[in-house]
Amino acid sequence: MMSAVSFRLLYLIFVRLCGWLVLLGHSSASKTAELLVPRHEVAVLRRTRPRPRLDWAWAEPSWLC
């Protein structure tokens, strides 16, 4: 059990370090684009599908019945 957990931890650390090394090679413009694209996608999704307004009638617990 312990070896599986330590292997998983080492794997996650390795993947994170590789991701940072890849980012070091990118230019500033590509880093900016990586941040702006998901923000734009979230903005579009918020316009097309607004969050539902929750009220107490919607959250009626079924276990009371």
Tens-binned pLDDT, residue by residue, of the chain (65 aa): 568 888 999 999 999 999 888 878 888 888 787 778 888 888 888 888 777 776 666 666 665 55
| pLDDT on residue 64 | 57
| pLDDT on residue 29 | 82
**Contact (Cβ atoms closer than 8 angstroms) between residue 31 and residue 23:** yes
Burial of residue 17 (CB within 10 Å: 0-12, 13-18, 19+) is exposed
